[in-house]
Structure 1
Amino acid sequence: MSTTRAGFAAIIGAPNAGKSTLTNRLVGAKVSIVTQKVQTTRFPVRGVALAGETQIVLVDTPGIFQPRRRLDRAMVRAAWGGAEDADAVVHLVDAPAEIAAAGPEGRAADRRSAADVEAIVAGLKTAGRQVILALNKVDQLKREDLLALSQRLFDTGVYSEVFMISAVTGSGVEDLRARLAALMPEGPWLYPEDQTADLPARLLAAEITREKLYLRVHDELPYAAAVETTAFQERKDGGVRIEQTIYVERESQRPIILGKGGQTLKWIGQKAREELGVILDRPVHLFLHVAVDERWADKRAFYGDMGLDFDA
């Protein structure tokens, strides 16, 4: 008889390292939203990956960075919390950004990313824990640069092994999946075989809409928006009616989301509705409302819905 295994693997890293893309790649389905904005993931998202008789519950954590606001602190605490409770931890590093930060033409974003990596290394040293290092986007680098970076990070003493991957193309990801599977403890599976994510439908719907929001207005809108599912009602025809409120902090941000003649909001709603229809496998009737609340990021209920610590 074959032995089943099941456990948790946390993916940590600086914002925009590619954690959500890697999670989706390992699961083989979309469980975490992906945008070009850093710090898109605000709370740990669990995706369920299978490798033979092993079930790996992947915890896609928020980016670890220098927090400035209450929401930032809650996100960073959630990321470290996900790592503490996991059977295996992968530290995903944006390899091109790490190398560029050391050069004379390194962008400010690259230097911030490198500083965040240093902070994570320091945090792992303090915790006395060794984790797996995964260098991402390796298809963009020369071999000699990659090997030098790998050695420099490995010499910090916080890594047990190194994997070189591309979360976008899938290169090296199967090897990483196999290694994570081997690290999972023996035991029964934690989720049904056909379940790919552990995320309440109301929260999933809000995340999909937030993704479309950032995809459409990422240049104009700073991190001053949130999406709340205010109603999720089953319909007699088998469909679902979803009502959501998009919160912004200032009145001047409201027209950005609405767009001329409401066209931007219409696009966001259409794209979110189409994707939710596929994910939920039924007709979706989505209604969006835009509200101004300058203190939405300071409301305890907002944190509780996402499983974040308001008092972080």
Structure 2
Amino acid sequence: MPEASGLTRAGFAAILGAPNAGKSTLVNRLVGAKVSIVTQKVQTTRFPVRGVAMEGSSQIVLVDTPGVFTPRRRLDRAMVRSAWAGAQDADMVVHLIDVAGELHSTGGDATAAQHRSVQDTATITAGLRAAGRQAILALNKIDLVKRDQLLGLSERLFAEGTYSEAFMISAHNGSGVDDLKRRLAELMPEGPWLYPEDQTADLPVRLLAAEITREKLYLRLHEELPYAASVETTAFEDKADGSARIEQTIYVERENQRPIVLGERGQTLKWIGSRSREDLAGILDRPVHLFLHVKVAPSWSEDRNLYRDMGLDFEA
């Protein structure tokens, strides 16, 4: 509830970072509820997802942006442009960095993904500097590295002159996250709340439902289905008994990907539907009847309507 003085604060905090830095996990942790999907697959978040976090009399609207990386196709370009737009429009920017990837990128056994993570971090830092934006530095996954390494990394990044302050956190186990949340609450501008106190996300329910199913799809098939699928909620009906009837279509790019999603005797699709239904029933707080279909659509990533529904710029 607001303070006795009636003073309230509300504003936007954009979480910016390389793919798989832990942005969605951090947003979910700050909100205290699932508002953004989380998988082991990079570039899972395709459009800004707004989660609403409360801290005392402050309301923090957290913008979980797509990861910043080197784009190679239209959807990539639209995602990166969306991430920078989210940062530009926000009252505060949090630059989240995967410290494990950053610190382990220089050794001979470093993975290509770790090298890319460092390159993406440099791109973000340069972009913030060019835009004249000060950001909060959040070093994530601190449970995976030694403290003296953290201090050295923090000092090196601070030398860039882009950051106003730093927090060492683990979005996964919550370490340090409460301190970051309190600081963000203090930095929000004075003003009335933008959403009801009990609202945790600003995302159309049809889009939220599609995102939950896409999460389960990638959790089950992240290696077999490399970034080549999309999910659309084609029907959402409120039933008289209070339940929801949802129909969704999973789009894949090639005919040989359809049996991968279906699985032997439909078992993979059944697993995806079961896990998605469980999550949706919890989020919507009512029974859910979910029906999934799989279709081949070679050009789904060039569908202008898809970009419009996700709030992305088709011309990026």
TM-score by length of 2: 0.98
Deviating above 3 A after TM superposition, structure 1's stretches of 4 or more consecutive aligned residues are none
Structure 1: distance between partners of 2:191 and 2:31: 20
Q: Match for 1:166: what amino acid?
A: S
2:231 is equivalent to residue 227 of structure 1 = yes
Aligned mate of 1:4, from 3, 8, 12: 8
Q: Match for 1:74: what amino acid?
A: A
Map Cα deviations across residues 164-217 of structure 1 (whole Å, 9 max, x no partner). 000001111011001101110000100001100001110000000000000111
Aligned mate of 1:146, from 150, 165, 183: 150
CA-CA distance at 1:2 after TM superposition: 3.5
Q: Match for 1:53: what amino acid?
A: S
Q: How does 1:129-208 map to 2 (within 5 A)?
A: 129-208=133-212
Map Cα deviations across residues 126-158 of structure 1 (whole Å, 9 max, x no partner). 111110000000111111111111111110111
Structure 1: distance between partners of 2:91 and 2:75: 27
Map Cα deviations across residues 75-133 of structure 1 (whole Å, 9 max, x no partner). 00010000000000000000010011122221111001111001111111111111000
Structure 2: distance between partners of 1:144 and 1:274: 42
Tell me the equivalent position of 1:123. 127
Structure 2: distance between partners of 1:2 and 1:170: 30
CA-CA distance at 1:247 after TM superposition: 0.3
CA-CA distance at 1:278 after TM superposition: 1.1
Aligned mate of 2:49, from 45, 51, 56: 45
Q: Match for 2:51: what amino acid?
A: G
2:83 is equivalent to residue 85 of structure 1 = no
Unaligned stretches of 5+ in structure 2? none
Tell me the equivalent position of 2:298. 294
Structure 2: distance between partners of 1:78 and 1:49: 21
Q: Match for 2:67: what amino acid?
A: G
Tell me the equivalent position of 2:243. 239
Structure 1 counterpart SS, 2:164: strand
Tell me the equivalent position of 2:25. 21
Structure 2 counterpart SS, 1:40: coil
Q: Match for 2:22: what amino acid?
A: G
TM-score by length of 1: 0.99
Aligned mate of 2:310, from 302, 306, 310: 306
Tell me the equivalent position of 1:262. 266
Structure 2 counterpart SS, 1:23: helix
Map Cα deviations across residues 240-270 of structure 1 (whole Å, 9 max, x no partner). 1111000000001001000000000011011
**Sequence identity (%):** 72
Q: Match for 2:53: what amino acid?
A: A
Q: Match for 1:258: what amino acid?
A: L
Unaligned stretches of 5+ in structure 1? none
Tell me the equivalent position of 2:35. 31
Structure 2: distance between partners of 1:234 and 1:96: 45
Tell me the equivalent position of 2:104. 100
Q: How does 1:244-255 map to 2 (within 5 A)?
A: 244-255=248-259
Structure 2 counterpart SS, 1:101: coil
Map Cα deviations across residues 46-98 of structure 1 (whole Å, 9 max, x no partner). 00001100000000000000000100000000100000000000000000100
Q: RMSD in angstroms over aligned alpha carbons?
A: 0.7
Structure 2: distance between partners of 1:51 and 1:35: 27
Q: Match for 2:64: what amino acid?
A: D
